[in-house]
């Protein structure tokens, strides 16, 4: 059994406090995104796309994957759904015919 040095006072445990703050933040963001009919991963993809668009006119799903930490196939699926719902528009990349921008 693991015994914490904070077993008698969880308020002093940085790890437990972080967990509580994260859970509160995650709940709050999920509620706000629910009103927009977006999931958290969809929001992360959109936020990553927005950031990358400030620096590059042709953002690829590989670029979004690297920035967001979401695997490329999942980013592709999310982008397809977001495109169907009108959140993003994809077109053929000007320099890489295998990629969409």
Please compute Rg for the chain using Cα positions: 19
69 band by pLDDT with thresholds 50, 70 and 90 = very high
Model confidence pLDDT, tens digit, residues 40-59: 999 999 999 999 999 988 89
- Average pLDDT on 66-86 reads 96
Domain residue extents for the chain: 12-84
67 band by pLDDT with thresholds 50, 70 and 90 = very high
Residue 75's Cβ-count burial label (10 Å; 0-12, 13-18, 19+) is: buried
Which of these ranges, 36-50, 61-75, 86-100, has the smallest mean pLDDT? 86-100
DSSP secondary structure of 3-69:
--TTTT-GGG-HHHHHHHHHHHHHHHHHHHHHHTT--HHHHHHHHHHHHHHTT-SS--HHHHHHHHT
Structure confidence at residue 74 (pLDDT): 97
- Enter the pTM of the model: 0.78
């Amino acid at each position: 059994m693991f015994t914490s040095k904070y077993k008698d006072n969880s308020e002093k445990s940085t790890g437990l406090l972080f967990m509580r703050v994260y859970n509160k933040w995650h709940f709050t963001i999920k509620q706000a995104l629910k009103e927009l009919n977006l999931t958290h991963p969809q929001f992360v993809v959109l936020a990553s796309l927005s950031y990358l668009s400030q620096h590059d006119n042709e953002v690829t799903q590989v670029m979004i994957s690297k920035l967001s930490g979401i695997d490329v196939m999942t980013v592709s699926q999310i982008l397809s759904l977001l495109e169907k719902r009108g959140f993003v528009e994809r077109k053929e990349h000007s320099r890489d015919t295998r990629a969409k921008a």
